[in-house]
Chain A
């Protein structure tokens, strides 16, 4: 016995599995189990890459205009009832991943453990690790309720690696009758146009916080990010204030980034923010408050007024 059969829910965005999904697939494959991947939508388009990273089978749920969460969870439950129960189901900590996991947890009466960065299987015992208090403390939690174990992982917890596998076998799964739970329908899909590298993939991230003072000053962050061929990011405070879209948010409730250089401008370093960026290889912080927690993790800290420092920095970089 042991963990022999793992399901991974893969988030597919713009026709490709997210890197976070491939990370989970890599980890699952390294645990020596047979790995099947569940996707919402077209399986054939992703069977190649999923197979390359270790999947032997792709369950593709044709969910139509339903929300993916309830549709995939119901299809998973039907498969479990059909005698195909896995020992472990791994989810990326994404919007759809969280929805699928939550619905499935009630359907199979199993607990969920989320925000994990590591998983260890010892026989049938499975333990996951979650950082808390801004990542200063690591809590290891062992599932006790019996398989299937449901665990969600933060992006960048593992390194995706191709295992050179052949294309995965695609099994198209129809959505069971969802009853009232299927009443929500997607009537239009909007993709926000972005230029430059993606926030969670950029080599350099320049983030702004409340210290900017007003929303129009975020232009400085965008200029600096563009000059450095990086991506602009933001603290939760200015996202909540409506200065920039949610997709800019770095932190616990936003994106996890691990760039070569992270430049925090006018960000004090709330726990919520630090969780999302403390894995950066190099951190530069500019803040007028020398007691700001961000200086505790910065490789280079500038105690000063960002409204004076940034324009000079931008000018200097333009001159290079």
Chain B
């Protein structure tokens, strides 16, 4: 595991942050399964998962507040896809490691975490690693915490407010009935909820600069992670069925009196 790298003591206030980003099919289009692999179809152009734009923004703000350092990205995607990465680079990230390898098809969450952890180590680690709480397409929702465990790092998940003071993270962490105030020394990993910050739009200058920022493309073998893909997954899809569809009821145009329809409907259900 990558623990040994973390003993490096930071010599100045500069803070390096790595953000785990996922490139996904545009959620505006209906998802589909590939019948041969039973995985989500992810061909064609992929975009930066909106959930990850918050992490990228958070990273940029923290580095800015620290007065130095840089934001790097790690991503795992098929077909050497970089369009989503370019968006994050255009926002201000400096560089990226992209793990793209046909062998990764069918990888489970644990394998994904090992791959991303290895990519983080390839960058030499960081003071802080940021991920979203879950992706918008697969939403397993465990990968950030799994990465922390693989790297032997402390973690604070579901962060809804984050600051760093004197090398110490201060996080408001979402709970079932409120929030906890949590402190954690760096290095550490956090997962951030959507809306934690307002993601910036890439500027034209940023978009142009992103085209030439370095993206280090590697395979699972380059990272020394095996087995991967279906071979390494502790699961297999045994069947895919269509759920019973919920039928649509009555749809009416409001004529100024439709509120009465709602009242009648509620009365019929004896809830008022």
Contacts and interface: CB of A to CB of B under 8 A. Distances in A.
A228 B271 contact: yes
A313 B259 contact: yes
Given A106-B146, A183-B184, A301 B259 contact: no
Interface stretch (B9-17, B61-69, B151-159): B151-159
Interface residues of B, number: 83
B194 interface: yes
A241 interface: yes
Interface string B131-153: 00110100111111110111011
A95 to B, nearest CB: 5
30 contacts: A14-B177, A70-B149, A95-B174, A99-B155, A103-B149, A106-B149, A106-B150, A115-B140, A115-B141, A138-B242, A140-B240, A141-B236, A144-B233, A180-B6, A181-B152, A183-B154, A184-B184, A187-B181, A188-B181, A228-B266, A228-B271, A246-B160, A260-B269, A261-B269, A270-B27, A284-B265, A301-B252, A303-B251, A303-B252, A312-B256
A297 B241 CA distance: 19
B73 interface: no
Contacts of B182: 67, 184-187
B222 interface: no
A112 B109 contact: yes
Contact of B238 (A102, A127, A295, A317): A127
Interface of A: 11, 13-14, 18, 67, 69-70, 73, 93-96, 98-99, 101-103, 105-107, 109-115, 127, 131-133, 135-146, 179-192, 203-204, 228, 236, 239-242, 246-247, 252-253, 260-261, 263, 270-272, 278, 282, 284, 290, 295-305, 308-310, 312-313, 316-317, 320
Contacts of A133: 30-31
Chain B: interface secondary structure? mixed
Contact of A312 (B113, B181, B259): B259
B141 A98 contact: yes
Contacts of A140: 237-241
A189 B265 CA distance: 42
B35 interface: no
Interface in B1-58: 3, 6, 27, 30-31, 33, 38
A183 B134 CA distance: 23
